[in-house]
Amino acid sequence: MNARKLTRLGVPKGDGMRLAGTAVRDARAFGIPKRDIPQLITAVVENPNDYLQDDLFAELAAAILAHEQAQPRFKPRSQAAPFQIWGEDIDKNAIKQMENAVQLPISVRGALMPDAHLGYGLPIGGVLAVENAIIPYAVGVDIACRMKLSVLDMPLHTLRGEQKRLSNAIEYETRFGMGANFGRGERRDHPVMEEDWRVTAVTARLRDKAWTQLGTSGSGNHFVEFGVLAILNDDLGLPQGEYLALLSHSGSR
């Protein structure tokens, strides 16, 4: 079993890798079938304490424990970072996730959007500003999920008097559903498509696919709808009043 396979099983580099190689050879010499060894290595990695007295895997188990103990320990902030809840009747589990997240020493500020619900490292619909750090696990599986509110310079009566015009605009300008896209004669224009996508092999390979998805809404709980936006205060850059607005929630392509 080579180092790449051992790494995939969770064996740490250094002493762990060396001792894993020795344990594999000893196990084979002891008569353990080759097909059973990956499962045994995985068991040692996941529960090293159970193998500290094992004739074949004791040294590997001790090395794994030493590696784990040498890792930096989580130390929460002395005072949790502040976070704002934008909405009502938010899932309690989502709030608990955010309360945990703002205790991270790298956390600066958090927020829960109106659609917030239980996610992976962070609630779906949750936002966490961190300092000099990236948290891949917080992203979950829906990359580039976002909401955008556009305030339109159109009279409010358009919402009732020209519903067909508005619904046609949604159907024409976006696409819904997993795998939905725009064909070659329908693709949306945007300056990003004029940039140099050859900066990496991945972006070069995916440019055409990205172009077909540009402007799509995705599936799941994603939507586009027109409605009335009520401005109640003067701190949003618009005079108080009611405006025709377009709210979009896109992702899951």
pLDDT tens per residue across span 22-48: 999 999 999 999 999 999 999 999 999
* 198-217 mean pLDDT: 94
Task: Write down the pLDDT at residue 120.
Answer: 80
| pLDDT at 143 exceeding the cut of 70 | no
Edge-to-edge strands of the sheet including 83-85? Answer: 83-85, 107-117, 124-130
Q: Which stretch of DSSP H or E encloses residue 127? A: strand 124-130
pTM assigned to the model? 0.52
Among candidate residues 21, 134, 8, 14, the one with its CA nearest the CA of residue 70:
14
- DSSP, collapsed to helix, strand or coil, labels residue 151 as strand
The structural domains of the chain, with segments of one domain joined by +, span 3-70, 83-139, 146-250
| b/e burial code for range 27-47 (CB count within 10 A of at least 16 → b) | beeeeeeeeebeebbeebbee
Phi, psi of 174 (to 5 degrees): -140, 175
Most confidently predicted of 63-72, 111-120, 195-204: 195-204
